[in-house]
Amino acid sequence: MARHIDPNSFLFNAWILFISTVSFSGTLVYVSSYIAPWGKKAVSIVTATLATALAVGLCFFAVLENDVESVFHSIFFAIGAIGVSAGIVSGNAATSRELSWHESPEHGAGKNYGDLEM
């Protein structure tokens, strides 16, 4: 028998909030990468902080509601948020290093990849 999902429940609202936050933060990081190199780093750090704070807040409210299922899902949110945040920050750090290496004059800035001196 399928369970009925109550749209006013904590768990339903937590899922919607979590998915919205991750989607919005991903869009911010993508858009900021076209603005400036420092914008991508700054937004990724802010995004990581917000996602982790959101997940910790969800855990806190789940404990206050004393709902075991919500606590379990909130712990899943926290692990997911920390994983997504770590992925965003490390991905941006790797991209920044790669771009700075290829754009530096001593490594052939402005040349094609095939023209780089080894």
| pLDDT tens, residue order, the chain (118 aa) | 455 556 667 667 777 777 777 667 666 666 666 666 666 667 667 777 777 777 777 777 777 777 677 677 767 776 776 777 666 666 665 555 555 545 555 555 555 555 555 5
Residue 59 lies in a domain: yes
Decide if 37 is inside a domain: yes
In a domain, 72, yes or no: yes
Task: Provide the domain limits for residue 92.
Answer: 11-105
State the pTM of this model: 0.42
The residues, ordered by sequence, that sit 6+ positions from 96 with a Cβ below 8 Å of its Cβ are: 37, 40, 41
Q: How far is the CA of 112 from the CAs of 29, 34, 42, 108, in angstroms?
A: 27, 21, 29, 8
Is 60 inside any structural domain? yes
What distance in Å separates the CA atoms of residue 74 and residue 81, rounded to the nearest whole number?
Answer: 10
